[in-house]
Structure 1
Amino acid sequence: MAALAWLLIPLFAAFGAAIWGTWATRSRTAGDVSELAGYARFREAMEKTRSGSDAA
């Protein structure tokens, strides 16, 4: 029984590494669209404040 436990430890480690590898290489492009839209709104807001404060 002890030999079986020693054989299962590397098996569980390989399984955990496979799951972690899949999670680490996942596609993370879903948030880019909202971030780019937020950046565009920020640029528009900065352009509005800059155009009104040319007297300084």
Structure 2
Amino acid sequence: MAALVWLLIPLVAAIGAGLWGGWAGRNRKTIGDGSELAGYARFREAMEKPRTEV
């Protein structure tokens, strides 16, 4: 009986690793990229403007 318990430990670990791998590799929808890209576009436009002397 003890040998079966020792054989179940790697089996449970493999099932847990498979579940974790499936969860970690899932497709995630990114929300908010539009505002970040718009901010980057504004930054680029500001950097391309010629410098004015004060």
Q: 1:9 to 1:36 in 2, by over 3 A?
A: same
Q: What TM-score do the two structures reach when normalised by structure 1?
A: 0.60
**What's the CA shift string for 1:10-29, capped at 9, x where partnerless?**
2101111111210221112x
Q: How well do the aligned residues superpose, as a CA RMSD in angstroms?
A: 2.4
Structure 1 stretches of 4+ with a deviation exceeding 4 A read 48-51
Q: Which residue of 2 aligns with 1:54?
A: 51
| 1:50 Cα offset (Å) | 5.8
Unaligned runs of 5+ in 2: none
Identity of counterpart residues, as a percentage? 42
Unaligned runs of 5+ in 1: none
- Alignment length, in residue pairs? 53
Q: What TM-score do the two structures reach when normalised by structure 2?
A: 0.61
